[in-house]
Amino acid sequence: MSGTVFVLGAVFVGVALLVVAVAMLMRDRSISQMEDRLNTLTGKGDKSEGSLAELTQIIAQQKGEGKGVLDSLFAKWFNLPRLFSQADVTMSVAKFMGLCLGVGVVGFMVTGIAGVSLAFAPVVGILFAMLPLFWLTFRRKRRLKKFAAQLPEALELVARALRAGHSLAAGFRLVSSEMSQPIGGEFGRVFEEQNLGIPFEEALDGLTERVPNLDLRFFATAVILQRQTGGDLAEILDKIGNLVRERFKIWGQVQALTGEGRLSGIVLLALPPMLFVAVYRMNPDYLMLLFTDDLGKKMLIGGILMQLLGALVIRKIVNIRV
């Protein structure tokens, strides 16, 4: 039994390494070539190597260059590169897929070594392979939440810079130098992009794509309209900042009122899997009927579907948009 598990694990590892190797060989090197050209044109040599590398990546991302086959495929269908950008993860699609495969192989082999039935090994391997995706989603959500909390202060800082007689670009540069990540880096990227010749409206549009925040889209729309029609932009930014702060207050009240429902949902969703594991450890033959008997398989599928449906209903109840 253990020999079969190790053979299957070795085959799994071999295929995973082959996929990663092929993906790495098919990567495009145009970013490095573009960096060399910028070094030659600017004549700065190695003094600005780090900044040129960053600016080159910005231009390549704007033009869709510097991507391998896997990057282009996932950018078109699964949009993993955008998730990397929103989560501030410097990782290619090929490396991420290799990480998922590696973690899946570890989960598959741990199941066999632990003496659990081989029927659970593929399921455990798939769950382990999804852990990097869960981590990426959690990191993205935490970063976007921090950005939303920093946005009112950034808008007020830009408004004060405008009242002091500075330009809008100088206000963005002030935010990038005075505030921490992630909003400092994102505003600084907009400033660097417009310095490279990208129109300010396009740079703002790219910011709203990287950071899917409704208040940020209001801000970008206000800036674009003001640049086209004129008006007091500082006053508009103050109003948007106050609106965001009031929304955070209401959101905090909603979270407090729905706390009991969210906790009940967590308990109800976690109880069946935990009970399944406990019964399996005490009497495995009692639960194997769910996998061997036809009626048991139907009951298992029905239970999983009802669990997912209950999770969606609970999420719909407690997730109140403000």
CATH of the domain at 181: 1.20.81.30
Indicate if 93 and 156 belong to the same structural domain: no
Residue 152 lies in a domain: yes
At residue 287, the pLDDT reads: 82
At residue 304, the pLDDT reads: 86
DSSP class of 66 = S
Half-sphere exposure of 257 (CA within 13 A, CB side): 10
pTM, 2 dp: 0.64
Residue 295 lies in a domain: yes
Residue 141 lies in a domain: no
Residue 115, phi then psi, degrees to nearest 5? 85, 15
List the one residue out of 230, 251, 234 whose CA is nearest residue 319: 251
At residue 89, the pLDDT reads: 85
Indicate if 160 and 241 belong to the same structural domain: yes
Indicate if 266 and 237 belong to the same structural domain: no
Per-residue b or e along 301-315, where b marks 16 or more CB atoms closer than 10 Å to that residue's CB: eeeeeeeeeeeeebe
Mean pLDDT, the chain, whole residue set: 77
CB 159 within 8 A of CB 234: yes
Listed in sequence order, the DSSP H helices in the chain are 2-25, 30-42, 49-63, 69-77, 80-87, 93-113, 121-129, 131-163, 168-178, 183-195, 200-210, 214-229, 233-257, 259-282, 284-292, 294-318
Cα–Cα distances in angstroms (integers) from residue 6 to residues 113, 181, 218, in the given order: 9, 45, 56
Q: Which range of residues forms the domain containing residue 11?
A: 2-133
Name the amino acid, one letter, at 125.
G
Indicate if 168 and 209 belong to the same structural domain: yes
Residue 47 lies in a domain: yes
At residue 16, the pLDDT reads: 56
Backbone angle region of 116, left / alpha / beta, with phi > 0 → left and psi within -120 to 50 → alpha: beta
Per-residue b or e along 283-292, where b marks 16 or more CB atoms closer than 10 Å to that residue's CB: eeeebeebee
Residue 7 lies in a domain: yes
CB 35 within 8 A of CB 52: yes
* Structural domain ending residue among the three candidates 133, 165, 189: 133
Three-state DSSP class for residue 297: helix
At residue 127, the pLDDT reads: 84
Indicate if 114 and 166 belong to the same structural domain: no
Indicate if 20 and 121 belong to the same structural domain: yes
Residue matched to tokens 């960053």: 54
* Structural domain ending residue among the three candidates 227, 248, 269: 248
Query: Could you report the per-residue pLDDT of 169-203, keeping only the tens digit for each?
Result: 899 999 999 998 899 999 999 999 988 888 888 99
Indicate if 70 and 182 belong to the same structural domain: no
Indicate if 298 and 277 belong to the same structural domain: yes
Residue 140 lies in a domain: no
Residue matched to tokens 């949902």: 265
Indicate if 6 and 121 belong to the same structural domain: yes
At residue 116, the pLDDT reads: 64
Segments in the chain below pLDDT 50: 7, 11, 21-22, 25-34, 41-42, 44-52, 59, 62-66, 76-77
Here the tokens at position 10 are 């070795």
Query: Could you report the per-residue pLDDT of 13-72, keeping only the tens digit for each?
Result: 555 555 554 455 444 444 444 455 555 544 544 444 444 455 555 545 544 444 555 555
**Cα–Cα dist 30/28, whole Å:** 6
Indicate if 44 and 116 belong to the same structural domain: yes
Indicate if 14 and 100 belong to the same structural domain: yes
Residue matched to tokens 């009112």: 152
**Cα–Cα dist 201/171, whole Å:** 15
User: How many domains is the chain built from?
Assistant: 3
* Structural domain ending residue among the three candidates 111, 133, 155: 133
Residue 189 lies in a domain: yes
At residue 233, the pLDDT reads: 85
